[in-house]
Amino acid sequence: MGGMLFVLKNFLCFKASIIILNMLYRFETHVNCVIRDIFIQHKNQVSDQLSEVHKLMSISSFNDLVTHLHILIYVKEREFSAEKGAQ
């Protein structure tokens, strides 16, 4: 009887270890996905900022600056009205 109890106890410990390892693997996978999403979001923000810098560097006259600012204002107004409409 003692031998059977020993085998059963070891089996349950082994099964618990597998369950814990599975949970850790899922947690690690979730964390990796979150980190990847944050990296992609940051990369996209940096890309947008670089694009804006290139646009600003290409401005060679006052009229180009005014046109650029009008476009920015128009885009921001549309974003604001879309957010306001969503609420």
Q: Which of 62, 60, 80, 82 is nearest to 72 (CA)?
A: 80
Q: Which of 70, 68, 71, 73 is nearest to 55 (CA)?
A: 68
Which residues have a Cβ under 8 Å from the Cβ of 68 and sit 6 or more positions away?
55, 56, 59
pLDDT tens by residue, 45-64: 999 899 988 888 888 888 88
Q: Which of 58, 78, 81 is nearest to 68 (CA)?
A: 58
Q: Find the mean pLDDT for residues 74-86.
A: 89
Q: What percent of the chain has pLDDT over 70?
A: 97
Q: What pLDDT does residue 12 have?
A: 81
pTM for the whole thing? 0.50
Indicate the number of domains in the chain.
1
DSSP assigned state of 24: H
Q: Taking 80 as the threshold, does the pLDDT of residue 2 lie above it?
A: no
Domain span at residue 26 reads: 2-86
